């Protein structure tokens, strides 16, 4: 008889190994899937994981990994703080949108002025926009005890309506022949979040993501607030006795994650994306939830997970184009990764035992 | 710009390599906004791609990437295709406009074709179809067929292309049925079966017995089928699986001749940047079979409109026409110019409701 036995202590070895095992299992079963679809499995896996990093055109794909990974990491870092304390912000997508709208709006108000102050102003406005949007579920939760999961999620759809509205009205490009969408910030130097070193993909959003990783690490390991976050998540009762103020914690976690998501939106709209449009958001806020868990809610883990996720996106597109793999197969492949991670995660807390349970 | 240089030199190197190694193969890339199985917009573009393969056989190699989000992802996918040696890239959604221009700058030797946009460059052409011509035919049928006098219209985005379609359908429905009323629901998506089905249900509940859609899935057709006495029109693709009813006719986007011609131009080295806007006459817009669910005289009226548009004797936007606010637009016999049509951001007189902004 095979059964699961709870480990007295979570296994450190398995905790470290599961992401790697999950990736290997995904490669294996993903390869099987591709083979069933009649595509060369090894070639497909190689294309997804190897091509962007070391392939012929890696000089282009490597910077793209930063571009794709930075918003994921930035948002996931914010989310992980709350997740650790059991505060569930599911609406980062909405905060990302509001950050982009507020940031771009603050900049476009001064169009076509030429000033080095415009971009910093946009950054502040972006962070505030995301922060304010996250404060809605935070205040409702602390004042009226509403569920932050539902409120933050629903506010994503409200934010999408706002996005459509400003794309068609307030921020619409007056020179856009009636088409929706704002001016392209890439062609306005004062507001353009350009590459800091050409050809590297390094823009301010990447820098911000790296700073966020360091700050989160320091916060969680060296700071009282970080200690409170961890304590509330691991032992809520103990946290209460230790005098943790839950209201302050909710406001802090939701506010921080909102501000970081807003920043991610601002860096995206002023950089790689360039303009506010109805379809500006492409799901970074939701994918970041996966990244946060894939990275074990640990800052360094999130950094790696964001990179891995970006890799599967970019590699997936290359595989689509070069091997004509269907987009749905790539999505299944990405889903497998999370599935296997959660499945193998079981082994951190349980071990597989063979034979009858011992009677104590 | 270092990256630009890198990319350009890579492209040049590739071009040289490609020229030496496989002088005969022209690589054509397609970037799709939806899945190839959407049964509508992207499906028809993919039919065009297949037509290119069928026409030129081993002379061409085609590649595509589906479900590409508008924005940085699109830019990356296009760059990747160009790096991998594509000679010609079709970008098939309005939101790919700026990314197409950006990538085209980096690859001056690669030709780009952007659907439904207005920005061109030496190596970027634009193309679109005069869907509003097909809408005139649909409007004629809708006006005749509605018994509740309420026609439901599922709009995607309030952009000129969609507003043109609504106006054209309304003008021609009104011509044959002065009591007709249009109800427009904006779905803010090109392809989302769930949202489209919801929009169709709402319209049917509000009394619409004819549904026109400017979204790409067959979900509204299914909703109409469930509701019973409602008719619909296939959008972008024939959607004939819902014929003879609810689907009584359709607008089919036929990109195949254009894609074949443009690919040939690249092969022959005669490609030039152009702006193409073709309609029923040129065959880019086709009217799907009008089924027997439509009475013979209605079918005849619809086909008469179609023929007169095709042979150029009639323009769907012919005065006298007023704008929604009552101001004059076209005088008696005057025909709308392409510039106004391309940027159309107003309803014609008689349509209720506002264009969202």
Chain B residues lying within 8 Å of A169, measured CB to CB:
356-357
Q: What is the CATH number of the domain that holds A165?
A: 1.10.3470
Q: Within a domain: residue B172?
A: yes
Domain holding B62, by residue range, is 2-129
- C-beta separation of A73 from A303 below 8 A: yes
Q: Look up the pTM and report it.
A: 0.86
- C-beta separation of B83 from B11 below 8 A: yes
Helices (H), chain A: 12-36, 41-49, 51-54, 58-84, 92-108, 118-144, 148-168, 204-222, 224-234, 236-241, 246-270, 284-294, 299-323, 327-349
Q: Give A233's pLDDT tier (boundaries 50, 70, 90).
A: confident
Q: What total of structural domains would you count in chain B?
A: 2
Same domain, B115 and B143: no
Domain holding A139, by residue range, is 67-324
Same domain, A118 and A208: yes
Same domain, A357 and A285: no
The last residue of one of the domains, among B89, B111, B129, is B129
Same domain, B178 and B227: yes
Interface contact A273-B66, CB threshold 8 A: no
Chain A residues lying within 8 Å of B342, measured CB to CB:
177
Question: Hey, is the C-beta of B206 within 8 angstroms of any chain A C-beta?
Answer: no
Same domain, B124 and B137: no
Instruction: List Cβ neighbours of A111 (8 Å cut-off, separation of 6 or more).
Output: A183, A188, A191
Give the nearest chain B residue to A194 (CA atoms): B1
Q: Within a domain: residue A309?
A: yes
What does the pLDDT read at residue B210?
96
Q: What total of structural domains would you count in chain A?
A: 2
Q: Within a domain: residue B66?
A: yes
Same domain, B102 and B206: no
Residue A45: count of CB within 10 angstroms of its CB: 19
Which helix (H) or strand (E) element contains residue B112?
A: strand B111-115
b vs e for B340-349, b when ≥16 Cβ sit within 10 Å of the residue's Cβ? Answer: ebbbbbbbbb
C-alpha B220/C-alpha B169 separation (Å) is 18
Same domain, A149 and A248: yes
Q: Tens digit of pLDDT for each residue in B319-332?
A: 899 999 999 999 99
Q: Within a domain: residue B301?
A: yes
Q: Within a domain: residue B269?
A: no
Same domain, B217 and B188: yes
Give the nearest chain B residue to A161 (CA atoms): B188
Q: Within a domain: residue B276?
A: no
Question: Hey, is the C-beta of A148 within 8 angstroms of any chain B C-beta?
Answer: no
B-interface mutation test, from A183, A321, A331, most B Cβ less than 10 A away: A321
What does the pLDDT read at residue B234?
93
Q: Tens digit of pLDDT for each residue in A29-42?
A: 999 999 999 999 99
Question: Hey, is the C-beta of A282 within 8 angstroms of any chain B C-beta?
Answer: yes
> End-to-end CA distance of chain A, in Å?
18
Q: Tens digit of pLDDT for each residue in B290-323?
A: 999 999 999 999 999 999 999 999 999 998 999 9
Q: State chain A's mean pLDDT as an integer.
A: 91
Give A222→chain B minimum CA distance, Å.
37
Chains A and B form CB pairs within 8 A to the count of: 111
Question: Hey, is the C-beta of B155 within 8 angstroms of any chain A C-beta?
Answer: no
Q: Within a domain: residue A62?
A: no
Same domain, A157 and A287: yes
**The token pair that represents A300 in the structure block:** 């360094």
Of B48, B32, B57, which is closest to residue B256 (Cα–Cα)? B48
Q: Within a domain: residue A55?
A: no
Chain A residues lying within 8 Å of B345, measured CB to CB:
178
Interface contact A168-B356, CB threshold 8 A: yes
What does the pLDDT read at residue B191?
84
Interface contact B357-A278, CB threshold 8 A: no
Flag whether pLDDT at B1 surpasses 80: no
Quote the ipTM score: 0.85
Q: Within a domain: residue B275?
A: no
Question: Hey, is the C-beta of B1 within 8 angstroms of any chain A C-beta?
Answer: yes
Flag whether pLDDT at B4 surpasses 70: no
Q: Which of residues 107-136 of B touch A (CB under 8 A)?
A: 118
Same domain, B118 and B243: no
Interface contact B64-A321, CB threshold 8 A: yes
Question: Hey, is the C-beta of B315 within 8 angstroms of any chain A C-beta?
Answer: no
């Amino acid at each position: 008889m095979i059964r699961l036995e709870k480990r007295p202590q979570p296994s450190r070895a398995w905790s470290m190994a599961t992401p790697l095992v999950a990736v290997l299992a995904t490669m294996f079963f993903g390869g099987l899937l591709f083979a069933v679809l009649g595509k060369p499995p090894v070639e497909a896996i190689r294309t997804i994981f190897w091509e962007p990093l070391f392939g012929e055109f890696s000089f282009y794909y490597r910077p793209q990994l930063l571009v794709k990974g930075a918003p994921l990491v930035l948002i996931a870092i914010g989310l992980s703080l709350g997740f650790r304390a059991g505060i569930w912000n599911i609406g980062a997508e909405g905060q990302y949108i509001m950050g982009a709208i507020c940031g771009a709006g603050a900049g476009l108000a001064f169009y076509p002025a030429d000033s080095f102050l415009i971009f910093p102003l946009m950054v502040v406005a972006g962070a505030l926009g995301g922060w304010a949007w996250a404060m809605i579920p935070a205040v409702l939760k602390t004042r009226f005890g509403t569920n932050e999961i539902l409120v933050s999620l629903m506010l994503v759809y409200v934010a999408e309506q706002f996005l459509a509205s400003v794309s068609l009205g307030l921020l619409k490009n007056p020179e856009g022949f009636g088409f929706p969408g704002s001016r392209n910030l890439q062609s306005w130097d004062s507001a353009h979040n350009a590459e800091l070193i050409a050809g590297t993909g390094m823009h301010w959003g990447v820098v911000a993501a790296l700073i966020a990783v360091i700050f989160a690490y320091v916060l969680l390991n060296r700071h009282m607030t970080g200690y409170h976050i961890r304590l509330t998540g691991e032992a809520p009762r103990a946290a209460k006795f230790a005098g943790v103020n839950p209201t302050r914690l909710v406001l802090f976690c939701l506010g921080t994650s909102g501000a970081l998501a807003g920043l991610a939106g601002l860096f995206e709209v002023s950089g790689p994306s360039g303009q506010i449009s109805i379809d500006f958001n492409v799901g970074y806020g939701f994918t970041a939830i996966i990244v946060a868990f894939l990275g074990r809610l640990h800052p360094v883990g999130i950094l790696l997970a964001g990179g891995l996720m970006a890799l599967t996106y970019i590699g997936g597109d290359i595989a689509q184009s070069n091997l004509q793999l269907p987009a749905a197969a790539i999505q299944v492949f990405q889903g497998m990764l999370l599935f296997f991670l959660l499945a193998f995660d079981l082994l951190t807390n349980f071990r597989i035992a063979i034979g009858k349970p011992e009677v104590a | 710009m270092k990256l630009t240089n890198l990319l350009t030199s890579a492209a040049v190197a590739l071009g040289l390599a490609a020229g030496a190694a496989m002088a005969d193969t022209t690589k054509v890339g397609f970037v799709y906004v939806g899945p190839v199985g959407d049964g509508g917009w992207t499906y028809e573009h993919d039919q065009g791609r297949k037509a290119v393969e069928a026409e030129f056989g081993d002379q061409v190699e085609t590649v595509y990437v589906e479900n590409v989000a508008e924005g940085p992802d699109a830019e990356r996918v296009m760059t990747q295709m160009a790096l991998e040696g594509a000679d010609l890239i079709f970008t098939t959604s309005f939101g790919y406009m700026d990314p197409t221009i950006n990538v085209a700058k980096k690859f001056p030797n690669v030709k780009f074709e952007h659907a439904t946009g207005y920005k061109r460059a030496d190596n970027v052409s634009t193309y679109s179809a005069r869907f509003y011509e097909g809408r005139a035919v649909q409007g004629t049928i809708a006006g005749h067929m509605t018994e509740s006098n309420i026609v439901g219209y599922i709009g995607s985005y309030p952009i000129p292309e969609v507003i043109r379609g609504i106006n054209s359908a309304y003008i021609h429905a009104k011509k044959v049925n002065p009591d007709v009323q249009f109800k427009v629901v904006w779905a803010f998506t090109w392809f989302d079966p769930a949202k489209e089905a919801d929009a169709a249900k709402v319209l049917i509940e509000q009394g619409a017995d004819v549904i026109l859609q400017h979204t790409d899935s067959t979900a509204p057709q299914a909703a109409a089928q469930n509701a019973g006495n409602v008719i619909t029109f296939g959008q972008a693709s024939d959607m004939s699986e819902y014929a003879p009813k609810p689907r009584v006719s359709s607008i089919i986007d036929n990109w195949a001749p254009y894609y074949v011609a443009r690919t040939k131009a690249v092969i022959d080295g005669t490609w030039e940047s152009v702006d193409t806007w073709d309609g029923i006459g040129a065959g880019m817009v086709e009217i799907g079979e009008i089924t027997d669910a439509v009475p013979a005289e209605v079918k005849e009226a619809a086909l008469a409109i179609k023929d007169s548009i095709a042979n150029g004797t009639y323009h769907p936007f012919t005065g006298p026409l007023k704008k929604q606010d009552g101001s004059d637009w076209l005088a008696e016999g005057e025909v709308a110019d392409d510039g106004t049509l391309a940027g159309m951001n107003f309803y014609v007189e008689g349509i209720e409701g506002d264009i969202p902004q």
